[in-house]
Amino acid sequence: MKITALAGGIGGARFLVGVQAALPDADITVIGNTGDDITLHGLRICPDLDTVMYTLGGGISPERGWGRHDETFTVAAELAAYGVGPTWFGLGDRDLATHLVRTRMLAAGYPLTEVTAALCQRWKPGIRLLPMSDERVETHVVVETDEGRRAIHFQEWWLRMRAATPALEIISVGAEAAQPAPGVLDALTDADVVLLPPSNPVVSIGSILAVPGVRAALARTPAPVVGVSPIIGGAPVRGMADACLTAIGVATSAGAVATHYGARRRAAPGDGILDGWLVDTADTGTEVPGVTVKARPLLMTDVAATVEIVRAALELAGV
Amino acid sequence: MKITALAGGIGGARFLVGVQAALPDADITVIGNTGDDITLHGLRICPDLDTVMYTLGGGISPERGWGRHDETFTVAAELAAYGVGPTWFGLGDRDLATHLVRTRMLAAGYPLTEVTAALCQRWKPGIRLLPMSDERVETHVVVETDEGRRAIHFQEWWLRMRAATPALEIISVGAEAAQPAPGVLDALTDADVVLLPPSNPVVSIGSILAVPGVRAALARTPAPVVGVSPIIGGAPVRGMADACLTAIGVATSAGAVATHYGARRRAAPGDGILDGWLVDTADTGTEVPGVTVKARPLLMTDVAATVEIVRAALELAGV
């Protein structure tokens, strides 16, 4: 079975572990969010791609869910000792080597797709990991500061401000002019099923959907498209997706997120992308016009629980 | 007293510790060798500048004599795990932060002189540390390989080959077109005394002398110029200076090195740079035409011993 998934970071990666466990022989393509990417200390950092790669490749820190296990932060401490910032980004030593290799390959002219494939040769995540685009699409957040209204990088808002300062607007800088990375549209068109893991609907899935052509490919693919709600009982399972949803005027509820994604209309494809939507039992009774909704426990407490969620999603997709 | 010293790495740095201890109030300028500099993993590395900066700033590994104390090599191990080389350069995690800051500043357009000053703001080495040039001057070594005669970077010959493959030629690439860094010539002209620590006469002191204008400034400065032999009893005290001397056709002896440096002729300045030459008691009786030679123990076994060597050099200089 050919499965294509759109994925952000921690939630997406953990869901994918369940996909692999549920279907060990599946041919899985993951379209990763690169809107969170940032250049710090001259190093190009792709947090979501790395979280997926490390998680599926056995390199992740299971406690944090991001970054490497047995990580140290020596270089970051030294940079701080030099007075060189920012200090709010968790730049681990092991992780830094990944960024060094990536930065060097990008500087040598390799597109991010090939860089990601090269890094995956070490990690062997068992999936094909594609960045959503080889071009820079960076999520910026408009906030009110003491110096007035400013657009700052998503990571600064997310990590330094802990998303506590209200986001007035969330912008995918560069998205309009970006192209999907090679293989992205084909992976959507050729899939037997497309899954939307419980990733952040705004800055993870939303960034991927902002790349021209992706939403249309989802709307038209013959494969069923099923999503798993990242919102349970009116709150995000992890992270601060509520702050992102508020910024774009979407309520923090399983139903509102699905309505935001929109129902697919096979007869007359539009912007909608969902056939099915899996919500938690806390949200039983959620109705989304045009979308088949099913309720079941959605907490990915361990791999076994995640496998059951994946199976329910596949069942909902009818595959 | 204004002291200007030319310095390579470990030997030069240890000598400078003695200079500071002997003359705590002296105004010391160090002209550092940058011929060993190398770019690895996209990071600009200045081993000799860093060895001086770390040694005088309290950051050095006392055991190794180079790199940082309490150093770890996590990033290097990860790079090796990615299959990204070279692996023969000891790239420590703490050290790497220095290279990251330097690389970023250079990329931003700051000359190496200003970058070095910025790094020294943290380390406060108590001296003014100047690179010999802001321009790239890289020592390359011509060796015979299985694929024929090749010019390789000095560091590859020194670290990977351990200087075991004979050097057929040692070249300062870029030296002819390089300019001394701002302050270098003035530091030689305005000094009360110029000291040549027991650094490698070919690839450390020799690289500095290869920068146009440096040799002439040494030949003409009103300050006395006194050197300390890095060769004791026909062998280098540390390192593999003999392999370098052989490459340029100079015998590995205290006298031959001084003859190679040449005697200053105040009446008619030429290429010679030495007024005085301090040799070890093992080399008592060494004679160098035109140079005042004095013999005394030269092993820098500890700071006290080094202080005595410095005092003897200053005495020989008559300051």
pLDDT digits (tens, 9 = 90+) for B107-145: 999 999 999 999 999 999 999 999 999 999 999 999 999
Mean pLDDT (chain B) is: 96
**Residue B239 backbone class (left: φ over 0; alpha: ψ -120 to 50; beta: rest):** left
Average of per-residue pLDDT across B277-286: 98
On the question of pLDDT at B239 being above 90, the answer is: no
On the question of pLDDT at B267 being above 80, the answer is: no
Q: What is the pLDDT of residue A302?
A: 96
Q: Is residue A237 part of a domain?
A: no
Interface mutation target, options B96, B98, B104, chain A, most CBs of A under 10 Å:
B96
Q: For chain A, which ranges sit under pLDDT 50?
A: none
On the question of pLDDT at B269 being above 90, the answer is: no
What are the angstrom distances between the C-alpha of B118 and each of B44, B100, B111, B288?
Answer: 15, 13, 11, 41
User: In terms of Cα–Cα distance, which of B69, B67, B51 is closest to B15?
Assistant: B51
Q: What is the pLDDT of residue B24?
A: 96
Average of per-residue pLDDT across B86-95: 95
Banded model confidence at residue B100, pLDDT cuts 50, 70, 90: very high
Answer whether B196's CB lies under 8 Å from B251's CB.
Answer: no
Range(s) of the domain holding residue B31:
1-57+113-319
Banded model confidence at residue B272, pLDDT cuts 50, 70, 90: very high
Q: How far apart are the first and last CA of chain A?
A: 9
Chain B: closest CA distance from residue A42 (Å): 6
Q: What is the pLDDT of residue B270?
A: 84
Q: Is residue B82 part of a domain?
A: no
Q: Is residue A241 part of a domain?
A: no
Residues of chain A positioned with their CB less than 8 A from the CB of B42: 42, 100, 103-104, 107
On the question of pLDDT at B212 being above 80, the answer is: yes
User: In terms of Cα–Cα distance, which of B141, A109, B156, A146 is closest to A118?
Assistant: A109
Count of residues in chain B = 319
Q: What is the ipTM of this complex?
A: 0.93
Question: pTM score, two decimals?
Answer: 0.93
Q: Is residue B90 part of a domain?
A: no
Q: Is B25 exposed, middle or buried (0-12, 13-18, 19+ CB in 10 A)?
A: exposed
Q: Is residue B75 part of a domain?
A: no
Q: Is residue B288 part of a domain?
A: yes
Give residue-wise pLDDT tens across range A137-149: 999 999 999 999 9
Give residue-wise pLDDT tens across range B143-181: 999 999 999 999 999 999 999 999 999 999 999 999 999
Q: Is residue A223 part of a domain?
A: yes
Q: What is the pLDDT of residue B238?
A: 82
Number of independent structural domains in chain B: 1
On the question of pLDDT at B196 being above 80, the answer is: yes
Answer whether B211's CB lies under 8 Å from B132's CB.
Answer: yes
Q: Work out whether the CA dihedral B67, B241, B6, B153 comes out positive or negative.
A: negative
CATH code assigned at A104:
3.40.50
Q: Is B58 on the interface with A (CB under 8 A)?
A: no
CB atoms A75 and B97 under 8 Å: yes
Q: What is the pLDDT of residue A265?
A: 87
Q: Is residue A162 part of a domain?
A: no
Q: What is the pLDDT of residue A269?
A: 78
Question: Residue A238 CB: number of other CB atoms within 10 A?
Answer: 15
Please report which helix (H) or strand (E) contains residue A123, including its range: helix A112-123
CB atoms B93 and A78 under 8 Å: yes
Q: Max Cα separation, chain A? A: 61
Chain-centroid distance, C-alpha B200: 7
CATH code assigned at B131:
3.40.50.10680
Task: Mark A146-162 as b/e (b = at least 16 C-beta within 10 Å).
Answer: eeeeeebbbbbbbbbbe
Q: What tokens appear for A179 in the block?
A: 């192209």
Banded model confidence at residue B1, pLDDT cuts 50, 70, 90: very high
Helices A93-107, A74-81: axis angle to 10 degrees equals 80
